[in-house]
Structure 1
Amino acid sequence: MKNKIAIIIAITALLILILYSLFFLQTTLFAKDKIYLALVGPAKTESGQSIIRAVRMYLENINHEVNGKKIELFYYDDIEDEKSAEETALKISNKTKSLLVLGHYYNLTSLAAGIVYKRNGVPAITASSTAEEVTSNNEWYFRTIPNNRIQAIFIANYISRILKKNSVNIIFEDDDYSLSLFSNFEKAAMRQGIAIKNKWKINTSQDEDNISLEPILKSLSGGEVFFLATHASLGAKLAISLKNTGKQFTIFGDDEFSSKIFLDKLKEYSEEGKGIDYYSDGIYCVTPYMSAIASDKGHQFEKQFISTYGKKPSWEAACYYDAVMVAIEAIKRADIKGTRYLIENRRKIKDALDGFFSPENAIRGVTEDIYFNRQRDITRPYSIAKYSGKNLVASFVQYRTVSQETEDSEGLFEKIFKGEKIIIDSKLMKSTHIVNTWIDEIDFNNIDFNKSFCALTFNVSFRYANNFNFDSAAIEFKNSLEPIILGKPVSLSKNDIETTIVYKVNGIFKLMVDYSSYPFDSQTIAIRLQNKRDTIDKVIYLPDELKNKVTLSQNSIKGWDIKSQMIFENFSTKESSLGLPRFFDSKYRINHSLFNIEIQMKRKLYVIILNLFLPIAALLTGLYFALSYPLIFLMVFLGTLSYHLYLLFILPCNYIMGIEYLIFGIYLLICIFLLRWKFTNHGGYS
């Protein structure tokens, strides 16, 4: 009996051990470790949703995997509250296996959470909080957006060097964000030689409706410059008050003025009979990212975002796309272990982020190349935007970071004085002129897809700042078969700020024809122009954002419908040593801004029926009757061969077209039917 009990106990223990191995050890020893990331922000707001979409899109692009480990992303909403942000940070630090945090969105929530992350050793990356203190006193916090100090210095440089103003009035709030902008701007203005005429601090702890602007407005005269270092709500109120004086002021706002909230507040505060367009028109502001002047990688990001979500990405989406990209690159380089080594893994990722400290090991992001300084910040120019009505468009002069290796140091101080170059935190930035370009009233004089050319007549317009030296002789049409010279303009208009010039163009352009899907193919007619002398760091040809649609003449496009049209800017590239010995072995890439219009065309339905369905239907019908009348096989074969040769004659290409697979199928059917007929009528071969 005792032996039986011992055997039963042994068998039971063995079964328990087997079950434990199957269900528990499998999940711990043999299961693949996951990488956990946390994303924190105002999840219910439009900005928060845009951030979530961008981060999710990047992770989907890499298949939610890095170094063979699956990535799992958790979302947390700190409800824009410091206490909630602190509690969320504690939860992430102590109760989750998150290796890194993306966020928080606001300055106050980032500062509150940052204390917790520093204490618990959790790396975090923000792409929206701009307060210097977020990263300066916290070695665990990184930022992929320029901070308030950079923003203020940049605005002061722009007012002085580009707008050529030597005095300014400042209005700011009494909170940390505005005070930071104000103090940094004041210091930068002194260095630029800008006189601070007046400065007003507004106590927003009062009821906003009771804030009195009378003392400010009474002391004003026209032509003055105002820097509004405020949040969007007060900024809208101030802009309306300044506009209502009827005097002409230059208003320059901070990055809050580029937000949708600013326009919403303008609409809320606007007087009856005066819309948003009246109050917003002419206001300058900065934004961390602007798709119109983005890099090629930025254009790819925007295109994918629109394709995936059906709307344009916000600046927050672009910046957090970069943030998660940097996070993943750090994880790749950190050589992390399993989830049991959480503290060690977090430290390794933080060290990997510290490793992105120079242009040589920078991450090429959507906004710009990303690498950190000693304060774990980045230094790059903001985009300068200006409202045209309620539309935020790129200002005529932008700055871009350039390599000091490729820049001639001769005359540097003179160029800085002229505003052609500025230096912020030892980073050289070069002014780039924006030429708003548009092509309209396109006439299709002759289109020959078989010979891959089209003859077009159209108007091309250029809109640029009055101080820009526009040279029509430098304009080159990249895909024209013969050189096109812009002659005398058909119209020229000018106001105090800008010039618009229009030329009539006649030219023959090369087509890139693709018949692989014939007759369901789409063909593209493109016009591409660039400046053959000045590179992209000097001039950018942007699609004019004040235009919306290209006018096309369809009279001579027989057999075709217009499917879509795309107008965009990218760049063309060539390699050169620049005459510098250090580039003799590895060529330097020279980029020219390239303006493009692409008109996609599809064949009309009747053309598809005539070219595909009727011939194929006739051949298949003949094949059916050939089963009863064998001589028809010869007619079907000759008909198929003739149709095939006809297609090869009218559609010259050195690859197999889609329709040829159908023809090959008919050849195969002819062979099968002949064999069937042979065996059926003669009982096989003798």
Structure 2
Amino acid sequence: MNPRALPSHYLELIRDRFIFLASSPARLWKVKSGRGWPTARPGVLFALLTAAFLGLATFEANGVQKVEIAAALSITGDSSSFGGGSLEGIKAAIDEANRSGFGPRIELKVYDDRSTADGAREVAAKIAASDAVLTLGPAISVASLAAGPIYAKAGLASITTTATSDLITDNPTTFRILFKNSDQGEMLATFLAYVLGLKRAAVMVMDDGYGRTIEKGFRDTAERLGIEANYYILKPGEPMDEAARKAVAESAERPVVLAMLDTEGARLLTILRRLGVKGPFLGGDAFGIENFNSHFADTPEEKQHPGYFCENLYGITPMLLDSANADILAFAERFKQQVGHDPGWLAVAGFDAARLAIETIRKTAAADPGATTSALRTSALHNLLALDKQGSPLPGLLGPFVFDSGRGRQTALRIGRFNHGRFESAPLQIVPVLHPHEAEVESGAVFELRPGNYVRLQQVIYSGLYLNELMWIDQAHFTFGADFYVWLRFAKGAGAEAADPTEIKFPDLSTGHFDREHPVEQREMADGTSYRLWRVQGEFRSPFDLHHYPFDRQSLTLRFYNARAAADRIVYALDESAPDTMDSRSVTPSGVSAEAFRGLSQWKFVSAHQWRQNFVAKSSLGDPLRIGLQNYRELSGHAVTIELQRRSLTTLMKTLLPLWLMTCILYASLYFPPVLVQPKIGVAMTAVLTGMVLLNLVNSQLGAIGYTVAVEYAFYVYFALGLLQIVSVLLSEHLRGLGRTAAADRSDRWTRVLFIGAVVGLIAAAVIYE
């Protein structure tokens, strides 16, 4: 029973009972004269157990049993996608924390600011008057700017989820969990120059807090990089047609930078595309979400050509699942099991914000369990302000929780692009380098974004696999034979000292050869990427699990990774652009040939899916530069898993048919007349020896395994039946020798009943087990 759930008068009764028992040793112990050591009275056990229980109960009664956290999000209104996505991540983090049982129980109260400044102020006033220790949110910058002064007046920390304006941290109790807008502008200019190789741009700026801050970051970086840019200022609520036509007339061939939120950006993008502008188009995080394409769902162009308006559109995001690191991939698996779909970056940001809040609450509550709400707020704010050093910070999915002097957290910025309406990682990314090597800086592989801030180009390799055939499965040697195609698509201009994407290894390949230098096909694609295709045939190792044999299901995995380039240089993303890509939930995926399993008569195909597999070494590996924030080496890889179910009936018939025939013979011998004692014993001994031979044959087929498989239990029952036969014969003969013929006959009958019962029970267990 959980002590925190007990009413206080029950705790008092337990305490009184303990004091009564403990007040006198005579109540606790009784001594029998001349019997040595004293023995405990019946009540002493209750008292001792109660003492431990009471200690926990008293701690819970006096400590913080639960702590309230407020979530001020845009659940409705124009920015509901940001609020709803953040809330999914917040709930996932709080559910995990409460299930762990560590620290106080977190109670979440959700408030809807309706995506407006007025709504944000109303919500902030309610939260300030509540028992909330801190606030998660707001989700958008407009709401954070409006609510920030109210939270500051109440001494209430506000950890934003997806708000990115530079100005939100002007409020002294607001903490920004993501990058700021000027960082986005800086990234857009850097991506334009270093990745797209362009030095001209038309910048469409919405005259509000979001657009102006992105413009500032872009303008400063463009001047430093020598980008010639024309700036066009649009007023909120005013028609965009005139400004769009002017931009087209003056900057028709230039890439377009959209410094505005998604609603205005969708309207302007529609106008520009209908005026014939082909892009590329670059926008901030307002464009870096999968459902941005839904703004155009009702347009005739979108119905005729899905993804028409988003073609050649790039957007910023803190995370893309197709090129995420190992920690995010692990979170995605947990999230999908709990929620039912993959997390977007909004959910990841919400999870990170909630995780920081939970750790802050735990630390705060542990320091002063009996503190008031006001004291807890002050302590929580102090603990958050202390996260300004990089000693051993709490790790987060998007990076360590370290805040700069302006209470902003530096996180990576990923660039995604729309491909047929689907948002995927751009083939080249700009990633931070914490500890650059001098040689890399001199060669240009690592370059300085601004003083003291170094970055490099990371390649995102679109990869896929098509299974031609599983030729055989050798469970005795834990191997299988496979024939498949593997392909890679990657950007050509990856900068100085770029790693070779084709330098992949198949770690489970035992025999066979992968000739990476001689693909069966290679060419340059229309989108500027290079294409390589190989055919691989060979024998692969697999750790078969045979505990349930012959009712087992096996997962055969084909995987590769690049052993010479860490994940900050090369990431292998799933190529989902092709219509025949293997679906992770499909029963008959088109990424598997219809003839792939024609040679496996004992196996039935169940499913197949491909996924990213990152290989992580949780060690500095002797490199002093890795000690600290990045104490590991991570390699990116690609894996395909084939699920097969053994045809149990076929296997049982081949394996156990002789055993079944001997069982029938053994049972028939139970009806031999009493004079045939020696034949009965002979049948039993022959049956047991035959079973041993068959068992050795099965074990030789399974290989060197050190555990018991399901089919072996059938043999154990069979041996027990042989033993039962022998014991029954000896017992019956003994009883008949004593002249107890009726008892001997009863023994024979009960032996037959036990025999039939054991066989029927074994068959029933096999049916249920399967």
TM-score, structure 1 as length reference = 0.86
Task: Answer yes or no: is the 8 Å Cα contact 1:361–1:371 preserved in 2.
Answer: no
* Aligned counterpart for 1:246 among listed residues 257, 270, 276: 276
Structure 1 residue 612, shift from structure 2 partner: 7.9
Structure 1 residue 400, shift from structure 2 partner: 2.7
Matching residue's letter, 2:463:
T
2:90 is the alignment partner of 1:39: no
Structure 1 residues 106 and 574, CA gap change in structure 2 (3 angstroms): closer
* Aligned counterpart for 1:51 among listed residues 86, 95, 101: 86
Give the match for residue 188 of structure 2: 155
Structure 1 residues 615 and 344, CA gap change in structure 2 (3 angstroms): farther
3-state SS of 1:190 partner: helix
Structure 1 residue 81, shift from structure 2 partner: 2.8
Greater Rg by CA: 2
Matching residue's letter, 1:311:
H
Structure 1 residues 570 and 667, CA gap change in structure 2 (3 angstroms): same
2:327 is the alignment partner of 1:292: no
C-alpha distance in 1 between matches for 2:707 and 2:546:
9
Give the match for residue 3 of structure 1: none
Task: Answer yes or no: is the 8 Å Cα contact 1:294–1:366 preserved in 2.
Answer: no
2:143 is the alignment partner of 1:109: yes
Q: Deviations over 1:616-651 (max 9, x none)?
A: 877887787676567565566445544433332211
C-alpha distance in 2 between matches for 1:685 and 1:359:
90
Where do residues 301-320 of structure 1 align in structure 2 (5 Å cutoff)? 301-320=331-350
Where do residues 410-449 of structure 1 align in structure 2 (5 Å cutoff)? 410=439, 412=441, 415=444, 420-423=446-449, 426-449=452-475
Q: Deviations over 1:365-413 (max 9, x none)?
A: 2223332111121112211111111111111111333331xx3124526
Matching residue's letter, 2:695:
H
2:198 is the alignment partner of 1:165: yes
Instruction: Give structure 1 stretches of 5+ with no counterpart.
Output: 1-16
* Aligned counterpart for 2:234 among listed residues 199, 202, 205: 202
C-alpha distance in 1 between matches for 2:699 and 2:113:
65
Where do residues 213-612 of structure 1 align in structure 2 (5 Å cutoff)? 213-222=244-253, 224-271=254-301, 274-334=304-364, 335-338=366-369, 340-404=371-435, 407-410=436-439, 412=441, 415=444, 420-423=446-449, 426-468=452-494, 471=500, 474-482=503-511, 484-495=514-525, 497-547=528-578, 548-549=581-582, 550-552=591-593, 553-573=596-616, 589-607=632-650, 609-610=652-653
* Aligned counterpart for 1:130 among listed residues 164, 180, 186: 164
3-state SS of 1:43 partner: coil
C-alpha distance in 1 between matches for 2:103 and 2:721:
48
Structure 1 residue 154, shift from structure 2 partner: 1.4
Matching residue's letter, 2:332:
E
C-alpha distance in 2 between matches for 1:588 and 1:513:
33
Q: Deviations over 1:107-135 (max 9, x none)?
A: 12222222222111222211211112222
Task: Answer yes or no: is the 8 Å Cα contact 1:232–1:259 preserved in 2.
Answer: no
Task: Answer yes or no: is the 8 Å Cα contact 1:381–1:429 preserved in 2.
Answer: no
Q: Deviations over 1:162-219 (max 9, x none)?
A: 11211211002122111221122212211222122x21112232367x7663323233
Task: Answer yes or no: is the 8 Å Cα contact 2:458–2:571 preserved in 1.
Answer: yes
Task: Answer yes or no: is the 8 Å Cα contact 1:42–1:77 preserved in 2.
Answer: yes
C-alpha distance in 1 between matches for 2:710 and 2:236:
68
C-alpha distance in 1 between matches for 2:639 and 2:572:
9
Instruction: Give structure 2 stretches of 5+ with no counterpart.
Output: 1-7, 17-56, 583-590, 673-679, 739-770
Give the match for residue 73 of structure 1: 108
Where do residues 611-622 of structure 1 align in structure 2 (5 Å cutoff)? none
Structure 1 residue 47, shift from structure 2 partner: 4.6
Structure 1 residues 431 and 95, CA gap change in structure 2 (3 angstroms): same
Q: Deviations over 1:657-676 (max 9, x none)?
A: 23434544555676678767
3-state SS of 1:645 partner: helix
3-state SS of 1:177 partner: helix
2:179 is the alignment partner of 1:146: yes
C-alpha distance in 1 between matches for 2:722 and 2:94:
51
Matching residue's letter, 1:221:
A
C-alpha distance in 2 between matches for 1:582 and 1:180:
34
Matching residue's letter, 1:507:
G
Matching residue's letter, 2:605:
I
Task: Answer yes or no: is the 8 Å Cα contact 2:182–2:217 preserved in 1.
Answer: yes
C-alpha distance in 1 between matches for 2:144 and 2:628:
47
Task: Answer yes or no: is the 8 Å Cα contact 2:499–2:570 preserved in 1.
Answer: no
C-alpha distance in 2 between matches for 1:460 and 1:298:
25
3-state SS of 1:111 partner: helix
Structure 1 residues 401 and 373, CA gap change in structure 2 (3 angstroms): same
User: How large is the Cα RMSD of the aligned pairs?
Assistant: 3.7
Task: Answer yes or no: is the 8 Å Cα contact 2:289–2:423 preserved in 1.
Answer: no
Percent identity for Structure 1 against Structure 2:
20
C-alpha distance in 1 between matches for 2:569 and 2:605:
35
Q: Deviations over 1:520-571 (max 9, x none)?
A: 2222222222223222222222221213222332222222122222322233
Task: Answer yes or no: is the 8 Å Cα contact 1:465–1:499 preserved in 2.
Answer: yes
C-alpha distance in 2 between matches for 1:112 and 1:622:
88
Matching residue's letter, 1:167:
R
Give the match for residue 61 of structure 1: 96
Give the match for residue 121 of structure 1: 155
Structure 1 residues 19 and 627, CA gap change in structure 2 (3 angstroms): same
Matching residue's letter, 1:185:
F
3-state SS of 2:374 partner: helix
Give the match for residue 9 of structure 1: none
Task: Answer yes or no: is the 8 Å Cα contact 2:232–2:243 preserved in 1.
Answer: no
Structure 1 residue 60, shift from structure 2 partner: 3.1
C-alpha distance in 2 between matches for 1:226 and 1:587:
36
Matching residue's letter, 1:600:
E
Task: Answer yes or no: is the 8 Å Cα contact 2:282–2:315 preserved in 1.
Answer: yes
Which structure shows the higher strand fraction?
A: 1
Task: Answer yes or no: is the 8 Å Cα contact 1:157–1:422 preserved in 2.
Answer: no
Structure 1 residues 192 and 29, CA gap change in structure 2 (3 angstroms): same
